[in-house]
Amino acid sequence: MDQFLQQTLSGLANGAIYASLALAVVMIYQAIDHFNFAQGEMAMFSTFIAWQLIAWGAPYWVAFLVCLAISFIGGMAIERIIFAPIHDAPALSHVVVFIALTLIFNAMAGFTWEFTIKEFPSPFPAELPFKTTLIGPHELGIVGITLIMLGLIYVFFRFTPVGLAMRAAAASPDSALLVGISVKKMLGLGWGLAAAIGAVAGMMIAPVVFLEPNMMLGILLYGFAGAVVGGLTSPGGAVVGGFLMGVLENLAGAYVIGSELKLTFALVVIVTVLLFRPAGLFGRVVVQRV
């Protein structure tokens, strides 16, 4: 039983990692109505920036905030410089550009910081106030941060004028323009926010998996899976999806099929969930008008 609990909790900790990235995925999806396949590499690159600042002597929270600012501006810049000129290009051409960005960020990080794994500090205390070997302080911290981010995003999209405008701009750009929303600005803002959320995710993930240029390769898959299984339009769904992926993956690996086919099993589950809920667990089904 202790084993089972431990597997579940360590699955939750992994799930928090996926959930935090899934949030960034949903954020950009809300803003541009599309997946950003480069999200993982952008988050990795942001984390390296924070790592560099810390290595230069900056205190953790200074590095954290500066990194958020840089990521926000960087995200907006990517939208302005790279995507604005090809705004009218077909969606799959955008996918190719996402792939290109993935390659570029990955190679730049490898060139600048090399591939040796780097230790990234955790902002949370080293010891928990109560004694347990079931979950570590950082893991608990990630769960907390993920839930806080979720709350902020929820409030942002539900109650702030900017958030509402952003959703409108993504869902129906033409109508949004008619009611005076600057779709251009919203796009840039969405990119900036997604990059910043990705940076937070990266800085939370790095202390667990260690920082290196290929850190996000595996996580991105589960992050996407979490977001899709949860339903792309729902930040809450994405978080649930992320946690679900983490727990499911651990329990399946430990009790069902062994670690050798863990990945395959997780993916079978994704497809099965999608078969029964084609728009994800919490996603809105889009009704097409003829």
Q: What is the DSSP string of 26-44?
A: HHHHHHHSS--TTHHHHHH
1 touches other proteins (CB under 8 A): no
Q: What is the sign, positive or negative, of the torsion defined by CA atoms of 109, 114, 117, 122? A: negative
- To other proteins, the closest distance from the beta carbon of 53 in angstroms equals 18
124-163 mask for other proteins (x: CB under 8 A)?
---------x--x---------------------------
Task: Give 174 or 260: the residue with its C-beta nearer to other proteins.
Answer: 260
List the Cα angle 185/230/25 in 5-degree steps. 35
68 touches other proteins (CB under 8 A): no
Number of other CB atoms surrounding residue 183 within 10 Å: 18
Task: Give 121 or 236: the residue with its C-beta nearer to other proteins.
Answer: 121
- Cα–Cα distance, 242 to 24 (Å, whole number): 12
216-245 mask for other proteins (x: CB under 8 A)?
-xxx-xx-xx--x---xx------------
90 touches other proteins (CB under 8 A): yes
- To other proteins, the closest distance from the beta carbon of 164 in angstroms equals 17
Task: Give 66 or 128: the residue with its C-beta nearer to other proteins.
Answer: 128
7 touches other proteins (CB under 8 A): yes
Task: Give 58 or 97: the residue with its C-beta nearer to other proteins.
Answer: 97
Give 69's contacts (C-beta < 8 A, 6+ positions apart). Answer: none
254 touches other proteins (CB under 8 A): yes
Specify the 3-state DSSP secondary structure of 194: helix
**If binding means CB under 8 A, how many residues of this protein chain bind other proteins?**
84
Tokens found for residue 184: 């251009």
Give 28's contacts (C-beta < 8 A, 6+ positions apart). Answer: 34, 35, 36, 39, 190, 191, 194
